[in-house]
Amino acid sequence: MPHPFSGRKVIVTGGAGFIGSHVSDALIGEGAEVHIVDNLEGGKLENIPDAAIFHELDIRSDEIASLFKRERFAAMVHLAAQMDVRKSVADPVFDADVNVLGLLNLLEGGRANGLEKVVFASTGGAIYGDPDPNVNGGGPQPESHPQRPASPYGITKLVSEHYLRFFSETYGLPYVALRFANVYGPRQNPHGDAGVVAIFTKRLLKGEQPTINGPGKQTRDYVFVGDVVRALCSALAHDGSDVINIGTGVETDVNQLFGHLNRLTGGKAEEKHGPGMPGEQQRSVLDISQAADVLGWQPEVALADGLAETVAWFRARIADPVS
């Protein structure tokens, strides 16, 4: 069965980045005409599929309105963002400028020019904070979990969800906000909490010693980028508006993650610990039952397999940097 947006124009913001380039590949494979908007601050030209149409633009640009008017996109996958939690703390004005005003610039351009669907990359851990012991026994966090963003990044993602709801209710523009766990995989940039996979992998492959912040007992829910891409494509095809967690429901602490990567890269590094990061979230794990119920989605790639594929990709890149 063809994808609902096969043969139609889909704009992918941040499409030269980690997740965006993978979803662009997938949508092209589904027969969509993919347009990528990226300012290349974090994305790379080499990530852009040959079949995609590239627009080097900042999502806050005045040119966005004319782009939507000219192309009349049917759908938008919005992945472009200021995604660094620590940077959001240091410069909350910039964080809000990109993540909130950038989104509004896109939504205004879209609603005036026939946009039919928005899929938005939100966040689970940064919106929920540490699991509440009174919710689900302190286990995986459902979408109804109290929202306690501890950083401007988490706040702007939550505010963005409210703007999407407003545009849906006021202008009839349906959306799906996917609250991602910690996404990892090939093409990952070493930013944010999930970036620890890329950071550790690069250092281990180069024979360098990674440092684990604090005791290494802080946990995250690591989900493979291929599974995330399937969720994004399913969300595009979903009727109506929803907010849905995308993760694995499994907690992995940093020491365990280091152990996996150390073995996959040759097992020569020690488990070295440094000072903890002030205010760092200690646990994050998402309840993904709604993704199964609403999207018919569940993760398929086990952590060990996803890490093996990620290490193989980084190993090839280090061996042949221009490939």
Average pLDDT, the chain: 94
Tell me the pLDDT tens digit for each residue of 95-117. Answer: 999 999 999 999 999 999 999 99
In contact, 151 and 89? CB cutoff 8 Å: yes
Cα separation, 269 vs 272, whole angstroms: 8
Tell me the pLDDT tens digit for each residue of 10-57. Answer: 999 999 999 999 999 999 999 999 999 999 998 999 999 999 999 999
SS3 at position 36: strand
> From the CB of residue 73, how many other CB atoms can be counted at a distance below 10 Å?
24
Determine which of 74-88, 139-153, 270-284 has the lowest per-residue pLDDT on average.
Answer: 270-284
Q: Would the CA dihedral through 214, 256, 297, 285 be positive or negative?
A: negative
Q: Tokens for 299, please give them.
A: 């993760």
- Domains parsed from the chain with CATH numbers: 9-184+222-249+283-301 (3.40.50.720)
pLDDT at 323 over 50: no
In contact, 119 and 178? CB cutoff 8 Å: yes
Question: What are the residue numbers of the active site?
Answer: 153
Share of the chain above pLDDT 90, in %: 87
